[in-house]
């Protein structure tokens, strides 16, 4: 595994070639003294300021020798590398033709060569000093400049003391760290220091017993994405994952950014790929900095301890860092500045493992879409902590930020004890290597992956991908085959079948096993063939309306990205917190369509102080409520509930006369003076949406024809019970039932 000989051979061969060129031109081995001194000075300066160190596996940038960085810059700027090869060919051709050209052409050719040389020098300087990780442009005043450009220290003498270092078992590595920290406890079996040492995570100088020197370059909190390539992502550890995680939505926040910019009118539509690293200072971006960018994996963890709702981010640590009571007790003593005995070292180290519980997800996902809240059955209120009745303390909960939650009923999967990671796999949570615009693109699992009919689509354990196999091994899953996800074709590593007609799921945390029930026959009949599982099995979503955002240019705001202040501040004033059944819409992909749940995303007004600029937005968003109930919603919940149509909260009033059944809608909320729709509505009553009102281009409200068809079935329910024979028959052939209506059945108007 050592490549020293290859490196020495490379140097020796290059030296011989250079010697041949020198002798061919100078016809002498020994030059003049003054020439030698001048050349030596140039070589020393070049060696110090244009070093090309061997890549050590720790640093994120791989560059060739200084004389090739210009070539790397050219390759980066050109769309096709063949162009660079053609350029080199033509340049070589000019050198060849130079003695054969007439005086005028010779002079022009030389000027061209000088110009190319000058440009190449500029490219060399640019590539060497101003290109960082992934060849991104970086300047000396930017954060991490020295780490990404990588100037290794040049030691004239050896400053480190000789010492007997502790050898790491099973390797040729030795570290001085273990002499002081060898008695640390709490590590997981996957990261024991006896096997991987300390420097693989924390870096530092492993050849010194001097504390200051040993801790030089040390990363006290490894795992943050800004340094993950040096720690978790080295070639010996998880290089593929640290590459993929940078493409994941929990890192890029693409959907949040693109929708916010769309709401501000900065994007023509919401389906544009965005990245949090590209946020600047537009009105939408300042709004994001002030209110929306606190939760993303790229936000560095800067303090020790458990990640909470208040302290989010942390890259790999956000999910994989685990503290025990012993860890927290010792950490509390350390942070409390208790006087410790001289030479005393902490002994408790938090573990790194794949045991990711729901509390880690809750830290971020208790905001915005509030998935963690609804999964556990909690919903926001306008109550304060002082207004909660202590007798009903089980019904309410107070979060760290003062929000008071009310319990209305948890997801059936949560009630059964399933964790978030029992469904969501590593390729969803850590990215799959592809940049996605919205989360529905990155999500790879669906209800049907577990709840389907035999014969099941499975894959042999011997054929699954390496990462899934490794995780299955760590969890001691020994089944011979796994269920496959329909979308990605990857295995559900905690699933298995009995080889016949039953499938099962095993919890990754508790080990408990669950029988996977196939869907009811009603789910696939003619009337419901286009309905998503969530549209029937979601009893409630958060329906927040009436928010007001105000921008004050005279007040400085908090930049949640940089920790600095922004010029001007956006402040959000909450509207009404209510819950109700989801509004339904149509996800249209070509000729196929699916009915999906929606919820108010941005029903709000925005105002800039000291400015006439103000606007109103009525945007609904796809809902992923994670509040599944086992019995489906009844027929009237959809067909006779105005919310389901998109009209908003209210009631239908049916008036009969001899010829028809008149239907009117009485809204609960008054109409907005901005667009004359009820405050919580998506569309006008029995009319089409006037403009794009959903934060996805491929999802739309019901058309007037679709509304009439749904309302027609609802009118039947005003007389017929939903469990009656005629209504059950309508589920298989509604047109046939309509054809034999009696005179008592009235057409709606």
* pLDDT score, position 122: 94
Please state, in angstroms and rounded to a whole number, the distance separating the CA atoms of residues 464 and 496. Answer: 14
Tens of pLDDT along 42-93?
A: 888 877 776 665 565 555 567 777 778 888 899 888 888 899 899 999 999 9
b or e along 369-408 (b: 16 or more beta carbons within 10 Å of the residue's beta carbon)?
bbbbbbbbbbbbbebeeeebeeeeeeebeebeeebbbbee
What's the start-to-end Cα distance of the chain, in Å? 81
* pLDDT score, position 617: 85
Decide if 705 is inside a domain. yes
Q: Residue 5's Cα: distance from chain center in Å?
A: 43
Query: Are 502 and 648 within one domain?
Result: no
Decide if 193 is inside a domain. no
Query: Are 603 and 671 within one domain?
Result: yes
Tens of pLDDT along 231-261?
A: 999 888 999 999 999 999 999 999 999 999 9
pLDDT value at 225 more than 60: yes
Residue with tokens 């390729």: 427
* pLDDT score, position 5: 76
Q: Residue 180's Cα: distance from chain center in Å?
A: 38
DSSP H/E element including 700? strand 699-700
Q: What are phi and psi of 504, to 5 degrees?
A: -140, 155
Tens of pLDDT along 386-440?
A: 888 766 678 899 888 888 999 999 999 999 999 999 999 999 999 999 999 999 9
Could you tell me which residues are beta bridge partners of residue 531? 595
Question: Is 212 strand, coil or helix?
Answer: helix
Tens of pLDDT along 474-518?
A: 999 989 999 999 999 999 999 999 988 899 999 999 999 999 999
Question: Do 644 and 581 form a contact (C-beta atoms < 8 A)?
Answer: yes
Query: Are 586 and 730 within one domain?
Result: yes
For the segment 519-527, the average pLDDT, to the nearest whole number, is: 80
Query: Are 590 and 737 within one domain?
Result: yes
Q: Give the least confident one: 116-130, 161-175, 514-528, 542-556.
A: 161-175
* pLDDT score, position 56: 55
Please state, in angstroms and rounded to a whole number, the distance separating the CA atoms of residues 227 and 200. Answer: 12
Domain around 583: 523-543+578-748
Decide if 347 is inside a domain. no
Decide if 507 is inside a domain. yes
Query: Are 497 and 625 within one domain?
Result: no
Decide if 407 is inside a domain. no
Question: Tokens representing 296?
Answer: 């993303």
Decide if 467 is inside a domain. yes
Q: What are phi and psi of 81, to 5 degrees?
A: -60, -20
Decide if 222 is inside a domain. no
Instruction: Tell me which of 661 and 377 has the higher pLDDT.
Output: 377
Count structural domains, the chain. 3
Listed residues 127, 149, 171: the one ending a domain: 149
* pLDDT score, position 160: 47
Query: Are 143 and 47 within one domain?
Result: yes
Query: Are 532 and 586 within one domain?
Result: yes
Query: Are 592 and 501 within one domain?
Result: no
Residue with tokens 């921008």: 551
Listed residues 129, 149, 169: the one ending a domain: 149
User: Could you tell me the sign of the dihedral formed by the alpha carbons of 681, 682, 683, 685, in that order?
Assistant: negative
Please state, in angstroms and rounded to a whole number, the distance separating the CA atoms of residues 200 and 178. Answer: 12
DSSP H/E element including 606? strand 592-608
* pLDDT score, position 167: 56
Query: Are 605 and 735 within one domain?
Result: yes
Residue with tokens 């200051």: 212
Decide if 434 is inside a domain. no
Tens of pLDDT along 689-738?
A: 888 899 999 999 999 999 999 999 988 888 898 889 888 888 888 888 88
Query: Are 480 and 527 within one domain?
Result: no
Sheet holding 747-748, edge to edge: 650-656, 660-667, 747-748
Query: Are 590 and 734 within one domain?
Result: yes
Instruction: Tell me which of 507 and 606 has the higher pLDDT.
Output: 507
Please state, in angstroms and rounded to a whole number, the distance separating the CA atoms of residues 299 and 311. Answer: 10
Q: Give the least confident one: 78-87, 172-181, 445-454.
A: 172-181
Query: What Å distances lie between residue 477 and 299, 468, 480, 482, CA to CA?
Result: 34, 11, 9, 10
Query: Are 529 and 636 within one domain?
Result: yes
DSSP H/E element including 167? strand 166-167
């Amino acid at each position: 595994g050592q490549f020293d000989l290859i490196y020495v051979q490379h140097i020796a061969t290059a030296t011989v070639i250079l010697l041949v060129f020198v002798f061919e031109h100078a016809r002498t081995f020994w030059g003049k003294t003054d020439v030698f001194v001048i050349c030596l000075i140039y070589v020393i300066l070049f060696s110090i300021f244009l070093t090309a160190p061997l890549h050590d596996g720790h640093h994120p940038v791989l560059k060739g020798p200084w004389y090739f960085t210009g070539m790397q810059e050219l390759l980066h700027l050109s769309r096709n590398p063949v162009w660079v090869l053609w350029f080199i060919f033509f340049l070589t051709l000019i050198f060849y033709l130079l003695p054969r050209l007439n005086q005028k052409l010779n002079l022009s050719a030389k000027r061209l060569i000088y110009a190319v040389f000058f440009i190449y020098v500029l490219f060399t300087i640019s590539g060497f000093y101003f290109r960082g990780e992934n060849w991104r442009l970086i300047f000396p005043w930017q954060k991490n400049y020295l780490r990404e450009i990588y100037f290794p220290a040049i030691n004239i003498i050896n400053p480190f003391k000789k010492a007997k270092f502790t050898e790491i078992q099973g390797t040729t590595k030795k570290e001085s760290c273990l002499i002081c920290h060898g008695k640390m406890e709490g590590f997981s079996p996957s990261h024991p220091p006896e096997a991987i040492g300390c420097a693989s995570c924390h870096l530092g100088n492993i050849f010194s017993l001097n504390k200051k020197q040993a801790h030089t370059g040390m990363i006290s909190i490894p795992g943050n994405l800004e340094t993950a390539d040096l720690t978790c992502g080295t070639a010996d550890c998880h290089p593929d994952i640290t590459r993929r995680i940078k493409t994941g939505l929990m890192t890029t926040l693409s959907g949040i950014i693109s929708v916010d910019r769309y709401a501000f009118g900065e994007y023509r539509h919401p389906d544009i790929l965005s990245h949090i690293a590209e946020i600047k200072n537009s009105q939408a971006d300042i709004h994001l900095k002030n209110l929306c960018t606190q939760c993303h994996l790229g936000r560095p963890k800067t303090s020790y301890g458990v990640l909470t709702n208040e302290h989010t981010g942390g890259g790999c640590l956000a999910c994989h860092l685990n503290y025990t009571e012993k860890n927290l007790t010792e950490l509390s003593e350390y942070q409390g500045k208790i006087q410790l005995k001289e030479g005393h070292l902490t002994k408790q180290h938090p573990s790194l493992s794949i045991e990711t519980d729901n509390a880690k997800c809750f830290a971020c996902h208790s905001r915005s879409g509030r998935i963690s809240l609804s999964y556990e059955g909690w919903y926001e209120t306008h109550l304060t902590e002082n207004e909660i009745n202590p007798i009903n303390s089980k019904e309410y909960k107070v979060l760290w930020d003062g929000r008071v939650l009310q319990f209305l009923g948890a997801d059936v999967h949560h009630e059964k004890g399933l964790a978030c990671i029992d469904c969501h796999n590593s390729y969803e949570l850590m990215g799959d290597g592809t940049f996605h615009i919205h989360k529905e693109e990155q999500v790879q699992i669906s209800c049907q992956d577990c709840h389907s009919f035999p014969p099941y689509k499975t894959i042999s354990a011997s054929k699954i991908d390496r990462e899934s196999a490794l995780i299955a091994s760590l969890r001691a899953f020994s089944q011979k085959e796994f269920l496959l996800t329909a979308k990605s074709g990857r295995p559900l590593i905690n699933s298995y079948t009995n080889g016949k007609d039953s499938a099962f799921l095993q919890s990754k945390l508790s080990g408990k096993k669950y029988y996977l029930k196939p869907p009811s026959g009603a789910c696939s009949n003619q009337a419901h063939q286009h309905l998503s599982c969530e549209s029937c099995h979601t009893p409630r979503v958060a329906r927040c309306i009436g928010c007001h955002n105000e921008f004050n240019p005279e007040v400085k705001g908090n930049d949640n990205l940089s920790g600095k202040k922004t010029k001007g501040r956006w402040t959000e004033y909450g509207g009404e917190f209510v819950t109700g059944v989801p509004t339904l819409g149509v996800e249209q992909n070509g000729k196929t369509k699916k009915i999906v749940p929606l919820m108010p995303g941005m029903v709000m007004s925005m105002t800039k102080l000291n400015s006439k600029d103000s606007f109103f937005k009525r945007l609904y968003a796809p809902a992923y409520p994670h509040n599944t109930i086992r019995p489906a919603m009844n027929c009237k919940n959809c067909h006779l509930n105005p919310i389901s149509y998109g009209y908003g909260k209210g009631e239908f009033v049916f008036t009969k006369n001899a010829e028809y059944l008149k239907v009117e809608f009485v809204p609960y909320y008054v109409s907005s003076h901005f667009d004359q729709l009820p405050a919580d509505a998506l569309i006008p009553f029995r009319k089409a949406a006037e403009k794009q009102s959903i934060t996805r281009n491929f999802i739309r409200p019901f058309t007037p024809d679709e509304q009439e068809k749904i309302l027609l079935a609802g009118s039947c329910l005003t007389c017929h019970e939903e469990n009656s024979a005629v209504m059950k028959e309508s589920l298989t052939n509604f047109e046939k039932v309509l054809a034999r209506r009696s005179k008592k059945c009235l057409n709606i108007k």
